[in-house]
Amino acid sequence: MVTSNSIYLDHAATTPVHPNVLQAMLPYFTEQFGNPSTIASFGQDARRGLEKARTSIARVLGCLPTEIVFTSCGTESDNLAIKGVAQASRGRGNHIVTSVIEHEAVLHSCQALERQDYQVTYVPVDRYGVVDPAAVEAAITERTVLISIMSANNEVGTIQPVTEIGAVARRYKIPFHTDAVQAAGVLDLNVDRLGVDLLALSAHKFSAPKGVGLLYVRSGTPLEPQQHGGSQERRRRAGTENVPYIVGMATALERAQSHRDDYRAHTMSLRDELIAGVLEQVPGSVLTGHPTQRLPNNSSFCIPGVESGMVLRALDMQGIAVSSGSACTSASMTPSHVLLAMGVPPALAHGALRMTLGIDTSAEQIARVMEVLPAAVERARTLSAAF
């Protein structure tokens, strides 16, 4: 059971909604609740909220408001980017370049296209989980219609050289998509500086609710809608817009952007304390992901001799929420595709542990985790050895 003493170290999975974000949303449930596509005043009030949110998000991304497509989540945004560009470009080619460490939203979209006669090159990564821009360039063929490389990895936190890959994409005039779901509020999201043509975000990763996201689509980028119906979102995504959630997402993104420096400084110093503590006090533990080019709130490890689930449950019983890596795959017994791609041996990958901090994480909480974790690992090791 979650109590006021619970410690939440799973911010990469999702974040609590900030009270100011909730406040900004509330009027759009009960007062300005109209359908933004209707002409009557109720609809127009909702439309004003929707367009204000679009403009505020466009300011953060440095793009035109018309280049933003609201969606239901990061997964939908990735699907729309990949399938949308691939299908709209079918006359020109059928090849996509992506990486082996993408989120399933990207990987499974690419696999779905492979079943429809598209070809996909999955560029490898080094042992820190970094994609080499030269490898992306080497994978390009005359048939390449899209490059998709994530901004930062959700499991190990490695930040990718997006700007360099963007420069490669520009040189070859190939649309470039980045899944920036883990980057909001942490990294620069300016689409021109990044050199991206498509960028996916998910609101629940930055203190807004689950069930809303967006896709930035640079003007002129070919895009086949994946959902058919009304003419919302300039015919790129049919369906009545979720106005309260979109207003919440815009409020949260502005907040995240303006608090970026504080957030980075706060999480990074506690994260480094946590990393040092684990490496020192949990024998054999190894840090996964890049030692410095990583998200400021991400600490991820592999712990030999244990299965992550045992440690997770032991910590959970002490009121500490951590993860084995991706929230989407943590229920499966298959070791993470990200760790395997980085060359981590499967036996070691079974002991993956991810702790992701938030702005409310305190030094006392980190100290408490370090009181509990070494003993929990020892117990799990003893139990594992007994079977």
When asked if residue 75 is in the footprint of ligand PLP (CB under 6 A), the reply is yes
Decide whether 182 or 267 has the Cβ nearer to ligand PLP.
182
Compute the least distance from the CB of residue 178 to ligand PLP, in Å.
10
Instruction: Exactly one of 73, 110, 302, 328 is catalytic; name it.
Output: 328
- Given the rule CB under 6 A, which of 56-64, 73-81, 138-146, 167-175 is the region that contacts ligand PLP? 73-81
Residue given tokens 């030269």 in the structure block = 134
134: number of Cβ within 10 Å? 12
When asked if residue 101 is in the footprint of ligand PLP (CB under 6 A), the reply is no
Cβ contacts of 193 within 8 Å, gap of 6 or more? 62, 163
Compute the least distance from the CB of residue 105 to ligand PLP, in Å.
4
Among 105, 149, 174, 278, binds ligand PLP (CB under 6 A): 105
When asked if residue 74 is in the footprint of ligand PLP (CB under 6 A), the reply is yes
Tokens read off for 295: 């998200």
| Known active-site residue 328 | yes
Decide whether 32 or 336 has the Cβ nearer to ligand PLP.
336
How many chain residues bind ligand PLP (CB under 6 A)?
14
Are the beta carbons of 158 and 128 closer than 8 angstroms?
A: yes
Compute the least distance from the CB of residue 337 to ligand PLP, in Å.
13
- Given the rule CB under 6 A, which of 51-59, 72-80, 218-226, 267-275 is the region that contacts ligand PLP? 72-80
Cβ contacts of 31 within 8 Å, gap of 6 or more? 45
Helix axes 363-386, 260-281, angle to 10 degrees: 40
Among 7, 21, 25, 73, binds ligand PLP (CB under 6 A): 73
User: In this chain, which residue has its C-beta nearest to ligand PLP?
Assistant: 74
Strand 298-302, strand 119-123: pairing: unpaired
Compute the least distance from the CB of residue 176 to ligand PLP, in Å.
16
* CA–CA distances in Å: residue 348 to residues 111, 287, 313, 337, 351: 27, 12, 18, 13, 6
Are the beta carbons of 288 and 339 closer than 8 angstroms?
A: yes
Bridge partners (DSSP) of residue 352 are 302
Distance CA 146, CA 82 (A): 8
Decide whether 85 or 105 has the Cβ nearer to ligand PLP.
105
State which of positions 295-354 bind ligand PLP (CB under 6 A): 327
Compute the least distance from the CB of residue 352 to ligand PLP, in Å.
15
Read off the amino acid at residue 364: E
Decide whether 178 or 365 has the Cβ nearer to ligand PLP.
178
Decide whether 150 or 159 has the Cβ nearer to ligand PLP.
150
> How buried is 104 (Cβ within 10 angstroms: 0-12 exposed, 13-18 middle, 19+ buried)?
middle
State which of positions 143-202 bind ligand PLP (CB under 6 A): 150, 154, 179, 181-182, 202
Among 175, 213, 277, 325, binds ligand PLP (CB under 6 A): 213
Decide whether 34 or 213 has the Cβ nearer to ligand PLP.
213
Residues acting as catalytic residues: 328
Q: Which residues bind ligand PLP (CB under 6 A)?
A: 73-75, 78, 103, 105, 150, 154, 179, 181-182, 202, 213, 327
